[in-house]
Structure 1
Amino acid sequence: MNEFSAARSPGGKVLVAGGAGYVGSILVPLLVEAGYSVVVLDRFFFGDSLAATASAKRGSLKLVRADIRDVDDSVLEGVDSVVDLCGISNDPACDLDPAVTTAINVGGASRLIELALTVGVRRYVYASSCSVYGYGERLQMTEATQCSPQTLYAQSKLKIEQLLLAKGRCSSGIFQPVVLRLGTLFGVSPRMRFDLALNAMVKSAYAEGKICVDGDGLQWRPFVHVGDAASAFIIALNAPSRLVSNRVFNIGVGENNWQIRDLAIDIQLCLPGSVIAYSKQCRDSRNYNVDFAAAKTELGFSASTSVKQGIHEVIEAIGSGKVDLNDERSNTVRHYRALFAQSGLGLMLPVVSVPEASIA
């Protein structure tokens, strides 16, 4: 285990924005067990996988139903550190309403940074994405590689990275921002998602016998298991400021850089009888093969789950009924569309903060 992730918090209090999501629903219980007092800020659109933990850990975990676009600084009372996992989380969902996406992913994220500065938060860990690299012309892109984001989602991530690091440079070391550029996530989570490449392809192969691949499948993706991503945030929270303050780290491991075609072939081998369907009309504009040396050598980050292990994990979870293929909440776009149908544009309006919440 990494020395930073193993270290216990000295009674620290951390706000996890978006803490009920795919990564957060794994990260938050780990933080509580590590000795942190945790406040989760979330709209809980996709349910509350943390209710049982909150009930069992009274005093250590508080759930707040609020919106980062209008929440006030009372939610940060006594908070030492922030982990920002908030935002509309994939390209198709972001494209549903670009104005709303910008308001949340840029406006809301900017507001949370300003509130954190106002109340004196020191460590601020931001969940960015390797998608900021866009279309890479070479392999093994490092944190110093010029970014070329191809989508609204990636563009919004890069804007907040730049804002956060600028604030850090102006603070003389008092404010310590850390940016984690996560690889493409995969694996099983209490808040399951089947709109991520590996998870989606396994689901399609299992349920329909077909694996859909955009273009020729030669595009690269750097994959990282959701549990390994959660551990990276704990490392970033616990690491000495000299190692992480005002730094960007790619989060993943080199052996999990895969071309989509090879991923499809491996899934096909695990689910005999499934077929690979290439869509020549749908060209994928994203292509990034990423270097993770900095996280490994400077932070001691390592990933415990390989892509092949992840394929088997998802297949087993489907087969055992651990995850429900028919739960519309596991597809972000589909669930947002359903919520839009029920509530119209009111869905995305800010909500009044609920300071003490037990979310149903």
Structure 2
Amino acid sequence: MKVLVTGHRGYIGCALVPLLQQAGHEVVGLDSDLYRRCTFSGAMADVVSIDRDIRDVVPADLEGGYGAVLHLAGLSNDPLGNLDPDLTIAINHEATVRLARLARDAGIPRFVFSSSCSLYGAAGDNFVDETAEANPITPYGAAKIMSEHALTELANDDFSPTFLRNATAYGFSQRVRFDLVVNNLTAWALTTGRVLMKSDGTPWRPIVHIEDISRAFLSVMEAPREVVHLQAFNVGRNDENYRISEIADAVRELVPGCRIDFEEGAGPDARCYRVDCSKIARMVPAFQPQWTVRTGIVQLRDAYIAAGLKQEWFEGPKFSRIAHLRALLADHDLDGKLRWSTAASAANRQDERVPA
């Protein structure tokens, strides 16, 4: 099938596109490429790309016989969403609904939305499944559940949305993120010898490797419509729910010569949830996750070593998502709505690797 992937140059998109290609699908990407200067290492998959902010999609972008839209694009996590809550709603919710409406009008039958388990918010220690009440405590989480509700209203006999509530992502990609707990703790351990904890370690997190998130997208897209129509799926594995302190212990074991340390003022984190992923395992048996936190830490450790990772890379504007956006804003490469300035857009058409 011909597939449009929004956010194909992002952290997860870099893993998803080659998986779709290997499965025989024709992929077209759509991305404003906010992080074009943040390619860590390796070459991204070669696909036809539409350089477009998702707020600016036009009907012609959705012509050409697509069988599905896989929608990943948006501001990518809770801290980034707090940068400007109103802008988070505009990009992650309003633009999502507009995109889906255009896709429906273009006759595209499938729309797979990258939602998040963060919409469960402060759910506590008990396992929650897809029937649990949403309790988002951030603009990012609120935008996800608002979008699910709005996409449900758009569904009809010819337009079928599905919602993938991804657990907290981890793992290596060419556009690796260092603001995710497994990636961040491994980076600190390798570069400083400290597994630096920024909370007290007690909150629960479900985690899932980005390649397994990609497998979920592929499996759901290929599943019979009647199985996945208007279904929400927690994406992960039941045995991959951990307290943050348990993740830190695994990093300490797998990165030689490091110790666990706590950032000054580290305290409780209100975001605490454990998720039950039995539904996707039962209803979409083609989804077979392959990664565990330990194999993921080893992958990250080895990739960081190969690249010669330095602390200032992931704490500063090179690869820290928020710091990088703030630098682009300060340099007027982006305007206040996170759109490229005319000069920056013309000068930065090509993928740029930040020099060491």
TM-score for both structures, normalised by structure 1: 0.87
Q: Which moved more, 1:65-74 or 1:203-212?
A: 203-212
1:53 aligns with 2:45: yes
1:34 aligns with 2:23: yes
Amino acid at match of 1:95: N
Q: Counterpart of 2:185 in 1: which secondary structure?
A: helix
Contact 1:66 / 1:350 at 8 angstroms: preserved in 2?
no
Which residue of 332, 337, 348 maps to 1:343?
332
| CA drift at 1:320 | 1.9
| CA drift at 1:348 | 3.2
Give the corresponding residue for 1:69.
55
Superposed CA deviations along residues 133-152 of structure 1, whole A, max 9, x for unmatched, are: 11113422100011101111
| CA drift at 1:276 | 2.2
1:185 aligns with 2:174: no
Give the corresponding residue for 2:110.
123
Distance of aligned partners of 1:126 and 1:155 in 2 relative to their CA distance in 1, 3 Å threshold: same
Distance of aligned partners of 1:322 and 1:186 in 2 relative to their CA distance in 1, 3 Å threshold: farther
| CA drift at 1:281 | 5.0
Give the corresponding residue for 1:7.
none
Contact 2:167 / 2:207 at 8 angstroms: preserved in 1?
yes
1:146 aligns with 2:133: yes
Distance 2:126 2:193 in 1: 32
1:163 aligns with 2:150: yes
Distance 1:288 1:153 in 2: 16
| CA drift at 1:214 | 3.9
Contact 1:122 / 1:176 at 8 angstroms: preserved in 2?
yes
1:23 aligns with 2:17: no
Distance 2:152 2:318 in 1: 34
Distance 1:267 1:232 in 2: 26
Contact 1:63 / 1:359 at 8 angstroms: preserved in 2?
no
Distance 1:231 1:286 in 2: 26
Q: Counterpart of 2:275 in 1: which secondary structure?
A: coil
Give the corresponding residue for 1:212.
196
1:112 aligns with 2:83: no
The 5 A counterparts of 1:278-289 are 281-289=266-274
**Which protein, 1 or 2, shows the higher relative CO under an 8 Å CA cutoff with sep ≥ 6?**
1
RMSD of aligned alpha carbons? 2.4
Give the corresponding residue for 2:227.
243
Amino acid at match of 1:154: G
Distance of aligned partners of 1:73 and 1:105 in 2 relative to their CA distance in 1, 3 Å threshold: same
Contact 1:212 / 1:279 at 8 angstroms: preserved in 2?
no
Give the corresponding residue for 1:277.
262
Q: Counterpart of 1:137 in 2: which secondary structure?
A: strand
Distance 2:212 2:295 in 1: 13
Distance of aligned partners of 1:249 and 1:120 in 2 relative to their CA distance in 1, 3 Å threshold: same
Amino acid at match of 1:229: I
Identity between Structure 1 and Structure 2 (%): 34
Contact 1:195 / 1:330 at 8 angstroms: preserved in 2?
no
Q: Which moved more, 1:34-43 or 1:253-262?
A: 34-43
Distance 1:141 1:346 in 2: 40
Any unmatched runs of 5+ in structure 1?
1-11, 55-60
| CA drift at 1:189 | 0.7
Distance 2:153 2:174 in 1: 35
| CA drift at 1:261 | 0.9
| CA drift at 1:212 | 2.8
Contact 2:14 / 2:45 at 8 angstroms: preserved in 1?
no
Distance of aligned partners of 1:313 and 1:51 in 2 relative to their CA distance in 1, 3 Å threshold: closer
Which residue of 296, 299, 303 maps to 1:317?
303
Any unmatched runs of 5+ in structure 2?
352-356
Give the corresponding residue for 2:76.
89
Amino acid at match of 1:330: F
Contact 1:141 / 1:291 at 8 angstroms: preserved in 2?
yes
Distance of aligned partners of 1:141 and 1:330 in 2 relative to their CA distance in 1, 3 Å threshold: same
| CA drift at 1:33 | 2.6
Distance 2:23 2:276 in 1: 29
Q: Counterpart of 1:289 in 2: which secondary structure?
A: strand
Distance of aligned partners of 1:165 and 1:279 in 2 relative to their CA distance in 1, 3 Å threshold: farther
Distance 1:359 1:66 in 2: 14
Superposed CA deviations along residues 239-279 of structure 1, whole A, max 9, x for unmatched, are: 00111011000000011100001111221222333232165
Q: Counterpart of 2:123 in 1: which secondary structure?
A: coil
What count of residue pairs does the alignment treat as equivalent?
A: 338
Give the corresponding residue for 2:354.
none
Distance 1:34 1:303 in 2: 16
| CA drift at 1:215 | 3.8
Contact 1:46 / 1:329 at 8 angstroms: preserved in 2?
no
Q: Which moved more, 1:123-132 or 1:134-143?
A: 134-143
